[in-house]
Amino acid sequence: MPYRSSDKTRQKKDAKRTAMMQAAVQIFAERGYQAATIRDIVKEADVSIGTFYFYFPDKETLFVHLYEETADFLIHTLQQAANSRTTFARQVDAILQAYVSIAIFEPAVVELLLVAGVGTVPALTAKTASFREKLILVWQIPLTEAMKKGQVPDQNERRTAEGLVGAVDQIILGLLAQPDREDIAAGAVRDMNQFVLRATGHY
């Protein structure tokens, strides 16, 4: 009869893997890919080097996997926010509220995607491009619908969405650099709302 691990054993394995993933997000975001080491990660996760290699063959594989999961989490959260509203103005507000909330309460997630993941390893190039494309669509899809409904003037929605991604990401990074970011988050959302609605020509 083949060996089957018990539920308790599987739970322990899952807990160790989760601990390493959470530790890796923090380490990569704080130190960048090149400076971060496997020893840093296992120390932060309180697991052994052997445990690391049980799950991942090397640092690069972990980073790429982590980038994918983190990107999926952010995109899914922003898409859900947009889909929860029906008018363009409300969708813009929901997207920005969700993005800023992640930046404030899970800053390592944003730093990993926007900073630590840039120009790190060749294997990440296609995945970075895919993430950026999905981020553009987060804005482009609501904008296209808004044009159909007459909520914004006709425009090249692709170009507008590309511009919004760059501008909003820059503001988010600027917010993360502020020591009082929690106190100024609401104002940042308000300012970004005004910017996006003006940039799109919202009526």
| Per-residue confidence (pLDDT) for residue 1, from 0 to 100 | 47
Q: Which residue has the higher pLDDT, 102 or 31?
A: 102
Q: What's the pLDDT tens digit per position in 127-142?
A: 899 999 999 999 999 9
Q: What is the pTM of this model?
A: 0.86
**Distance separating the N- and C-terminal Cα atoms of the chain:** 69
Distance CA 68, CA 78 (A): 16
Q: What's the pLDDT tens digit per position in 41-83?
A: 999 999 999 999 999 999 999 999 999 999 999 999 999 999 9
Check pLDDT > 50 for residue 3: no
Residues of the chain with CATH 1.10.357.10: 59-200
CATH of domain 1-56: 1.10.10.60
Q: What is the mean pLDDT of residues 89-111?
A: 95
- Give the length of the chain: 203
Q: Which CATH class is domain 59-200?
A: mainly alpha
Residues of the chain with CATH 1.10.10.60: 1-56
Q: What's the pLDDT tens digit per position in 145-169?
A: 999 999 999 999 999 999 999 999 9
